[in-house]
Amino acid sequence: MVNPVLFWIIAAITVIPAFSLLFARKAVHVAMSIVLVMVGLAAAYITLGAPFLGMVQIVVYTGAVMMLFLFVLMLVGVDQREDLKETIKGQRWIGLFTAAGLGAFLVSVVGRVTVAVSDTPVQGDPDVVAVLLFEKYVLVIEVLGFLLITAAVGALVLTHTPRLKPRRTQLEVQRDRVLAGADPVNKPMPGVYARHNALDVPALDPEGQPIDHSVSRVLKIRNQTQEGVEFRAALEDPSRKEGDR
């Protein structure tokens, strides 16, 4: 028998978040709610004597499947808000009525039957489940393995975008750059020829003049650069001797 308190807690943390499926506007909120539902279901499995399945539920659903959903949501844009206004005529009310009717009907039917509960509850521990899986249901496991491989390959194929043009070689990329008027060589790195290697210090050209564009644009906007003038002054100081550092 099951502890009623535990049941009601499980019922609460499954049904209430599940309603977010119908009312939440943001898909991320829905996904997080479903994670909660999955955890609740895992708890229900453990309560019902299926600890292995409960753990698998947590690992697979909350850990893998729902995270996969979140990844996809990231890909397609978290901000996609959905207009809840119904566009198909009658869809909302017929759908709600049918779904609610189905639920009510099932509840009423199931509520009316009484099934004798076994006095010897089995405990679905991993060793018990493993023996059954790899003895009685070994063929099914094999088939499921094929199914998973096929699904993985299928997902790869579906998300694969074929290259329409041949890949551009480095030579072509460089040629285009030079033709567009870019520097044939790299930009000078900041801090080169500076007194101390730092990003905020412009590089010096061979004549000792600072090169402005060697400093990051961001630092300039933030006014976090140094002019390098003081280094030039020091450079021009006659008292300075070679090897004085």
Partner 1 sequence: MDPINFVILASILFAIGAAAVLLRRNAIIAFMGVELMLNAANLALVAFSRMHGEIDGQIMAFFVLVVAAAEVVVGLAIIIAVFRARQTISLDEPAELKG
Partner 2 sequence: MLDLTWLLIAVPLASAAFLLLAGRRADAWGHWVGVAASGTAFLVGLGALIQMLGEDAHHREHAVHLFSWIPGGALDLDAGLLVDPLSMTFVMLVTFVGTLIHVYSVAYMEHDPDRRRFFAYLNLFVAAMLLLVLADSYLLLFVGWEGVGLASYLLIGFWNHKPEYATAANKAFIVNRVGDMGLIIAMGLMFTYFGALDFEGVFAAADGASTAQLTAIGLMLLVAACGKSAQFPLQSWLGDAMAGPTPVSALIHAATMVTAGVYLIVRSAPIYAGAPAAQTTVAAIGAFTLILGAVIGMAKDDIKKALAASTMSQIGYMMLAAGLGPVGYAFAIFHLVTHGFFKAGMFLGAGSVMHGMNDQVDMRRFGALRTAMVTTWVTFGLGWLAILGVPPFSGFWSKDKIIEAAFVGEGAQPWILGGAALIGAGLTAFYMSRLFFMTFHGKARWTDDQHPHESPALMTVPMIILAVGSAFLGLFLALGDRFATWLEPVTGHAEHHEPVLPIPVIMIATLLLVALGVWVAWRKYGAADVPETAPAASLATIAARNDMFQDSVNRGVFERPGTHLTRTLVYADAALVDGAVDKTAGGWARTGESVRKTQNGQVRSYALTMLVGLVIVILVVVQGGL
Site for partner 1 in 166-205 (CB under 8 A): none
Query: Does 91 participate in binding partner 2 (rule CB under 8 A)?
Result: yes
* List 62, 90, 152, 223, residue binding partner 1 (CB under 8 A): 152
Query: Does 104 participate in binding partner 2 (rule CB under 8 A)?
Result: no
Query: Does 22 participate in binding partner 2 (rule CB under 8 A)?
Result: no
By CB under 8 A, how many residues form the interface with partner 1?
A: 88
Touching partner 2, residues 204-243 (CB under 8 A):
none
* List 90, 120, 139, 236, residue binding partner 1 (CB under 8 A): 120
Read off the tokens for 161: 């975008």
* List 99, 128, 152, 153, residue binding partner 2 (CB under 8 A): 99
Residue of 216, 210, 200, 214 lying closest to 235 (CA atoms): 210
- As measured in angstroms, the least distance from the Cβ of 143 to partner 2 is 26
* List 74, 126, 142, 154, residue binding partner 1 (CB under 8 A): 154
Closer to partner 2 at the Cβ: 94 or 138?
94
* List 71, 74, 101, 142, residue binding partner 2 (CB under 8 A): 101
Touching partner 1, residues 47-76 (CB under 8 A):
48-50, 52-53, 56-57, 60-61, 64-65, 68-69, 72-73, 75-76
CA distances (Å), origin 157, targets 150, 151, 154, 161, 165 = 10, 10, 5, 8, 19
Place of tokens 């070679």: 242
Give the number of other Cβ atoms within 10 Å of residue 46's Cβ. 19
Place of tokens 């998973």: 148
Closer to partner 1 at the Cβ: 109 or 233?
109
Q: Which runs of consecutive H residues, i.e. helices, occur in 49-186?
A: 51-57, 66-76, 91-112, 126-135, 138-159, 170-179
Give the number of other Cβ atoms within 10 Å of residue 64's Cβ. 11
Identity of residue 111: G
Place of tokens 């961001």: 218
